[in-house]
Amino acid sequence: MESTNASSRPRIAIRPATPADFPAIERVYHRAYRGLEPYAYESHWTPEEREKYTREYLGWAYEEDPEGFFVAVEEPSGEVLGFVSVHTWGEGRARRAEIIEVAVDPEQQGHGLGRLLLDHAERYAKSKGCTKIQLWVGSENRRALEIYKRRGYREASRYERWTKMLKDL
C-alpha cells in the first residue's frame, strides 16, 4: 500500500480494490462523469439502466484483472475517493497495458489524486513487464486529454467519439 500526506490535505492511501468497495466505486464513477455523460452512458438509458450498466462495466473491469484495480482512500476513514483499473495482456516484448477507467470524486479533483492513481497504474503495468500503455478517452474530454498529453501519451487513432492514446513505459 502506498500513502501520502500533502500539507493539510487528508492522508491518502492507494490499495488494491476488493468486491466490498464496489458500491463506493460506482458512486465515484457516477459523480465523476457529471457533465461528461456521453462518455459514460448511452443517451437513451434510464437512470436504472445507467446504474445497471455501470455495475456491469466496473464489475467486468475488475473481474478481467482484479490485481490491476486500485482505489485511493482517505485515511483513517477508508472513504473511497477515486479509482483506476488497468488490464495487462500479451507475452514478452508484446506485453501491453490499458487503463480501462480512472475517476476521482469531483470534490477531490485538482489536488493530485488523479496523478497518484495514474502513477500507480503505470508502475503496476511496468512491474507486469508491459512496454506500452494505452487508453481510450472521450475526444472532447479536454481535461483528461490534457492530463494524458502532459504525462507523455500521444494520440494514436480515433474511433467514433473516442481517441486512443499510447505511451511507452
Ligand X SMILES: CC(C)(COP(=O)(O)OP(=O)(O)OC[C@H]1O[C@@H](n2cnc3c(N)ncnc32)[C@H](O)[C@@H]1OP(=O)(O)O)[C@@H](O)C(=O)NCCC(=O)NCCS
Interacting residues toward ligand X by CB under 6 A: 32-33, 36, 102-104, 109-115, 135, 137, 141, 143-144, 146-147, 150
Q: 25 or 113: whose CB is closer to ligand X?
A: 113
Shortest CB 30 distance to ligand X, Å: 11
Q: 23 or 94: whose CB is closer to ligand X?
A: 23
Q: Could you give the strand order of the β-sheet that contains 69-75, starting from the edge strand earlier in sequence?
A: 2-4, 11-16, 69-75, 80-89, 96-104, 132-138, 162-168, 154-159
Residue nearest to ligand X (CB): 114
Contact 102, 124 (CB under 8 A): no
Shortest CB 94 distance to ligand X, Å: 23
Contact 109, 143 (CB under 8 A): no
Shortest CB 110 distance to ligand X, Å: 5
Shortest CB 142 distance to ligand X, Å: 7
Contact 105, 82 (CB under 8 A): yes
Q: Among candidates 106, 63, 62, 64, which has minimal Cα distance to 84? A: 62
Shortest CB 52 distance to ligand X, Å: 20
Compute and round to an integer the Cα radius of gyration of the chain.
16
Q: 23 or 110: whose CB is closer to ligand X?
A: 110
Dihedral over alpha carbons 86, 79, 113, 156 (to 10 degrees): 30
Task: Determine the 3-state secondary structure of 15 from DSSP.
Answer: strand
Q: 82 or 92: whose CB is closer to ligand X?
A: 82
Q: 112 or 129: whose CB is closer to ligand X?
A: 112
